[in-house]
């Protein structure tokens, strides 16, 4: 028995062949001995018969008695020998038969044992080669990103175990199938087409896809085998991607053209490696897709598909450096949709999202390839126009505004609406020399567009790019927060005196921020920050607490008659509990509530009439009084006098300071004074900056006055003022 030249070396099979060969040789020798012994026995028997025949012939002749007796003894002896020889021959035949049967049984049992052992064991060499393949199948970021090339590396080792001709991967995609073919050998174009057609048809069927489904094929050649002439007899081993694998369905397998059959061990190893590759390739496919999505969304806005703020910042920084090196101009557009909150409130956020996607389409339509459009906030967009000066930026901005204005959006209920946008423009390097100032300048120009009526585009012409209101406000946020943490917010007091007698009537509490350098900043420097970032509540309570402490100290010192005017932010009208807080402080410090007057700007007071009525009711219930600040600045101030009741009205200083130069202002203040007297409201005139104004107000019958002519704000509660 010999091993086929195409059969891989198998030490266990070699042992089986050697042992069976030796046993077969022994059986052959014994058989030859048996035949030889049988022939010799037959010869002896034949000679013996001839001898006996001759002896019988002799005994039939007359013999002497003695000779006859001797011959008779010889005949009897020969007969006994013949009988013994026959018995011996039969016994040898029996032993030979039994030994032969034993040898045959041993050979058959040994062969069966080795066959069963071979069917259940994988050769050490095959196992080691399998291990080498599996050791290479290690996932890494590079392997995931380049999984197709990673498969080729694995197949080189895989091929050393099993000389297959093709390796194929098939994935069911959203609209068809992706087939990846790896050729292990040199194939003609005709053979490749044959393999491609047959394998794709088989994979379509296995994945239950229609035969006309979209098919995408990628082919790779790994030159390990020699030339292949025919692939008529293709046999395949296929392993399916597990059903539980998310977002992935597919098959992996090998196909081979060979005259030899696979052994049980070979097929077992091939399937085990394929099973591992299914997990690796399937996971790599999913991870590669996921990484691609993550990479995409790391620089893109998921809603509109435009670039996101992170990528915009990187490109803007890069473009500043590039333009600086090459002496180029480029422009930045900042776009903010006008009144976009109304769209979300009226039609819902899904409609608002669709509108934002529509805005993104407009941007894509009107910028060049190479320019960058991004969504940097909720309804804020930015465009970087490469190598574009002010004139070009203005053309693009106007085109964008016009196109968006003309675009029609439709709500779910069928209603149609339009959007407009305010656009700010800044150009490098004329308007700014770095990305921070460039953005601040474009932002400032955009706010300018808002202020002049929206639905327009503005640049920085006529504006100082360094006076960036938004940036200044942002800086004050951190300054103010740090001042609040470090207890550097202090109250100053501005006297309010009786206009007729000059006696101290009250003090208005003003917030001041003390810088680490000792410089004192007035509220006007940071009030915009307070309002924009909703910090009024914390600021109000700090000022109230410190003002009440000062009031308590003045009462202890015997100055108990003056009232304390305290400014409140609009936030406190919305039921934030400031009145309860003030009431508790009054109880703790022994301050009568009637000494406290809360004042709110007219524009804040009238913004929510329903809450304002509740606030005033609670205020009076607790014993406090109320003053309406900047009265007259609203377009319907007299309406508020009818709808709401106040103890004090502080007449807007813009009218007061011009009463000597403007007959209209004089008449307005004079008539406001008479009106308030008629309905029982006390008047306080602000911005009294000269004795002449003071005298005019006294003549009009104004109740109380305050201003720099009366006194300057002081750190301590004043005990008296000059007349």
Confidence of residue 466 (pLDDT cuts 50, 70, 90): very low
Report the distance separating Cα 557 and Cα 549, nearest Å: 12
Decide if 31 is inside a domain. yes
Do 576 and 557 share a structural domain?
A: yes
Decide if 663 is inside a domain. yes
Placement of tokens 């097929």 in the chain: 267
Report the distance separating Cα 226 and Cα 229, nearest Å: 10
Give the lowest-confidence range in 124-138, 504-518, 708-722. Answer: 124-138
Confidence of residue 422 (pLDDT cuts 50, 70, 90): very high
Give the lowest-confidence range in 47-56, 239-248, 613-622. Answer: 239-248
Confidence of residue 113 (pLDDT cuts 50, 70, 90): confident
Q: What is the pLDDT of residue 250?
A: 56
Q: Which residues contact 33 (CB under 8 A, 6 or more apart)?
A: 96
Q: CB pairs under 8 A, 24+ apart, for 583-588?
A: 583/622, 585/544, 585/545, 585/548, 586/548
Decide if 394 is inside a domain. yes
Decide if 117 is inside a domain. yes
**Smallest Cα–Cα separation from 624: which of 590, 598, 591, 586?**
598
What pairing do the DSSP bridges indicate for beta strands 176-186 and 166-172? Answer: antiparallel
Do 537 and 513 share a structural domain?
A: yes
Tens of pLDDT, residue by residue over 246-256, are 455 555 555 55
Report the distance separating Cα 393 and Cα 384, nearest Å: 9
Q: What is the pLDDT of residue 16?
A: 67
Do 529 and 670 share a structural domain?
A: yes
Of 73, 89, 121, which marks where a domain is finished? 121
Do 415 and 288 share a structural domain?
A: no
Report the distance separating Cα 158 and Cα 164, nearest Å: 9
Do 222 and 265 share a structural domain?
A: yes
Domain of 396: which CATH number?
3.30.70.270
Do 484 and 432 share a structural domain?
A: no
Do 494 and 450 share a structural domain?
A: no
Q: How many residues are there in the chain?
A: 723
Of 440, 467, 494, which marks where a domain is finished? 467
Report the distance separating Cα 633 and Cα 651, nearest Å: 9
Q: Which residues contact 12 (CB under 8 A, 6 or more apart)?
A: 114, 117, 118, 121, 123
Q: What is the pLDDT of residue 721?
A: 38
Do 216 and 173 share a structural domain?
A: yes
Question: What would the DSSP string read from start to end of 44-97?
Answer: HHHHHHHHHHHHHHHHTS---HHHHHHHHHHHHHHHHHHHHHHHHHHHHHHHHH
Whether residue 374 contacts residue 312, with contact meaning beta carbons closer than 8 Å, is answered with yes
Q: Which H or E element spans position 145?
A: helix 141-145
Q: What mean pLDDT comes out for the span 419-441?
A: 91
CA torsion through residues 303, 306, 307, 313, sign: negative
Q: Residue 33 pLDDT > 80, yes or no?
A: no
Q: Residue 173 pLDDT > 90, yes or no?
A: no
Rg (alpha carbons) of the chain, rounded to whole number:
54
Report the distance separating Cα 383 and Cα 340, nearest Å: 19
Please give the residue that has the higher pLDDT: either 682 or 6. Answer: 682
User: Rounded to a whole number, what is the largest CA-CA distance in the chain?
Assistant: 202
Q: Residue 709 pLDDT > 80, yes or no?
A: yes
Structure tokens at 159: 């091929």
Give the helix ranges, DSSP H, for 486-608: 527-532, 536-556, 578-589, 602-605
Decide if 33 is inside a domain. yes
Its domain, for residue 448, covers 309-467
Do 99 and 43 share a structural domain?
A: yes
Do 152 and 117 share a structural domain?
A: no
Report the distance separating Cα 364 and Cα 381, nearest Å: 12
Of 446, 467, 488, which marks where a domain is finished? 467
Q: What mean pLDDT comes out for the span 690-714?
A: 93
Q: What mean pLDDT comes out for the span 468-496?
A: 78
Q: What mean pLDDT comes out for the span 102-108?
A: 73
Decide if 5 is inside a domain. no
Q: With H, G, I as helix, E, B as strand and everything else as coil, classify residue 159.
A: helix
Q: What mean pLDDT comes out for the span 182-200?
A: 81
3-state helix, strand, coil in the chain (%, to 5): 55, 20, 25
Q: Which H or E element spans position 520?
A: strand 520-522
Decide if 472 is inside a domain. no
Whether residue 598 contacts residue 626, with contact meaning beta carbons closer than 8 Å, is answered with yes
Whether residue 374 contacts residue 381, with contact meaning beta carbons closer than 8 Å, is answered with yes
Distance of CA 481 to the CA centre of its chain: 32
- Total domains present in the chain: 4
pTM of structure: 0.48
Decide if 455 is inside a domain. yes
On average, the pLDDT of the chain sits at 79
Structure tokens at 644: 């709401």
Distance of CA 411 to the CA centre of its chain: 30
Q: What is the pLDDT of residue 659?
A: 93
Q: Residue 334 pLDDT > 50, yes or no?
A: yes
Confidence of residue 403 (pLDDT cuts 50, 70, 90): very high
Q: Which residues contact 99 (CB under 8 A, 6 or more apart)?
A: 30
Do 422 and 345 share a structural domain?
A: yes
Phi and psi at residue 322, in whole multiples of 5°?
Answer: -65, -45
Do 653 and 514 share a structural domain?
A: yes
């Amino acid at each position: 028995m010999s091993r086929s030249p195409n059969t891989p070396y198998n030490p266990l099979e070699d042992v089986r062949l050697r042992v069976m060969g030796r046993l077969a040789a022994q059986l052959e020798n014994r058989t030859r001995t048996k035949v030889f012994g049988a022939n010799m026995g037959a010869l002896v028997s034949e000679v013996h018969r001839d001898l006996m025949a001759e002896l019988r012939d002799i005994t039939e002749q007359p013999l002497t008695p003695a000779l006859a007796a001797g011959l008779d003894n010889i005949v009897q002896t020969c007969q006994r020998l013949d009988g013994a020889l026959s018995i011996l021959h039969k016994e040898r035949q029996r032993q030979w038969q039994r030994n032969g049967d034993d040898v045959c049984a041993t050979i058959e049992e040994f062969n069966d044992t080795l066959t069963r052992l071979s069917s259940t064991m994988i050769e050490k060499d095959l196992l080691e080669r399998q291990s080498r393949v599996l050791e290479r199948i290690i996932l890494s970021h590079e392997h995931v990103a380049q999984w197709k090339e990673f498969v080729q590396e694995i197949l080189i080792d895989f091929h050393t175990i099993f000389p297959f001709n093709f390796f194929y991967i098939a994935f069911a995609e959203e609209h068809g199938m992706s087939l990846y073919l790896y050729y292990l050998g040199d194939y003609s174009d005709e053979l490749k087409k044959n393999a491609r057609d047959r394998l794709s048809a088989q994979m379509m069927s296995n994945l239950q896809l229609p035969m006309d489904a979209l098919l995408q094929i990628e082919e790779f050649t790994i030159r390990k085998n020699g030339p292949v002439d025919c692939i008529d007899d293709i046999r395949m081993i296929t392993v399916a991607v597990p059903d539980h694998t998310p977002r992935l369905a597919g098959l992996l397998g090998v196909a081979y053209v060979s005259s030899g059959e696979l052994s049980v061990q070979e097929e077992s190893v091939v399937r085990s490696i394929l099973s591992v590759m299914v997990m690796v390739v399937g996971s790599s496919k999913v991870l590669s897709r996921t990484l691609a999505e993550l990479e995409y969304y790391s620089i893109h806005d998921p809603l509109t598909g435009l670039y996101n703020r992170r990528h915009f910042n990187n490109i803007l920084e890069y473009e500043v450096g590039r333009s600086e090196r090459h002496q180029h101009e480029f422009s930045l557009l900042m776009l903010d949709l006008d009144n976009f909150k109304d769209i979300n409130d009226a039609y819902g956020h899904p409609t608002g999202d669709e509108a934002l996607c529509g805005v993104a389409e407009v941007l894509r339509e009107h910028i060049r390839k190479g320019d960058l459009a991004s969504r940097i906030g909720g309804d804020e967009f930015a465009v970087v126009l490469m190598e574009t000066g002010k004139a070009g930026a203005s053309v693009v901005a106007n085109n964008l505004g016009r196109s968006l204005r003309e675009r029609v959006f439709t709500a779910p209920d069928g209603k149609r609406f339009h959007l407009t946008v305010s656009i700010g423009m800044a150009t490098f390097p004329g308007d700014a020399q770095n990305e921070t100032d460039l953005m601040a300048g474009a932002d400032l120009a955009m706010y300018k567009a808002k202020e002049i009526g929206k639905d327009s585009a503005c640049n920085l012409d006529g504006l100082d790019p360094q006076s960036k209101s938004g940036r200044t406000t942002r800086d004050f946020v951190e300054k103010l927060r740090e001042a609040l943490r470090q207890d550097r917010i202090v109250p100053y007091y501005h006297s309010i005196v009786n206009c007729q007698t000059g006696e101290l009537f009250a003090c208005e509490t003003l917030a001041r921020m003390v810088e680490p350098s000792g410089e004192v900043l007035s509220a006007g420097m940071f009030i915009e920050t307070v309002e924009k970032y909703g910090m009024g509540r914390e600021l109000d309570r700090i000022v109230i607490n410190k003002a009440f402490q000062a009031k308590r100290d003045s009462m202890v010192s015997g100055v108990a008659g003056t009232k304390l005017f305290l400014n409140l932010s609009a936030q406190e009208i919305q039921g934030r509990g400031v009145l309860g807080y003030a009431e508790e402080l009054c109880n703790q410090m022994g301050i009568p509530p009637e000494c406290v007057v809360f004042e709110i700007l007219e524009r804040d007071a009238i913004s929510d009439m329903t809450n304002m009525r509740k606030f005033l009711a609670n205020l009076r219930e607790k014993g406090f009084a109320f003053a309406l600040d900047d009265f007259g600045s609203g377009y319907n101030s007299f309406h508020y006098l009818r709808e709401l009741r106040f103890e004090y009205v502080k007449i807007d200083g813009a009218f007061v300071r011009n009463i000597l130069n403007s007959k209209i202002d004089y008449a307005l203040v004079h008539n406001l004074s008479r009106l308030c007297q008629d309905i029982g409201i006390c008047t306080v005139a602000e911005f009294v900056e000269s004795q002449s104004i003071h005298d005019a107000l006294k003549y009009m019958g104004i109740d109380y006055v305050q201003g720099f002519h009366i006194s300057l704000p002081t750190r301590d509660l004043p005990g008296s003022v000059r007349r």
